[in-house]
Amino acid sequence: MIGGEYCAIVFDLDGTLADTAVDIRDALVRALAAEGLPPVDVASVRLMIGGGPKLLVERALHRLGVPARQDLVDKLAKAFHAEAKGHGNRNSRLFEGAESALRQLHRSGVRIGLCSNKPDDLCRDLVRDLGVDAYIDEILGSSEHMPKKPDPALLLGVIERLGVPPGETLYVGDSATDVATARAAGVPVMLVSYGYTLRNASQLGADGVIDSIAELTRPGQLQKSA
The catalytic residues are: 12
* CB distance 216 to 11 below 8 Å: no
* CB distance 110 to 136 below 8 Å: no
Q: Which residue blocks in the chain are alpha helix, DSSP H?
A: 21-34, 42-46, 53-64, 70-87, 98-107, 120-130, 153-162, 176-185
**Cα–Cα distance measured from residue 108 to residue 140, given in angstroms and rounded to the nearest whole number:** 22
170-174-176 Cα angle (round to 5): 95
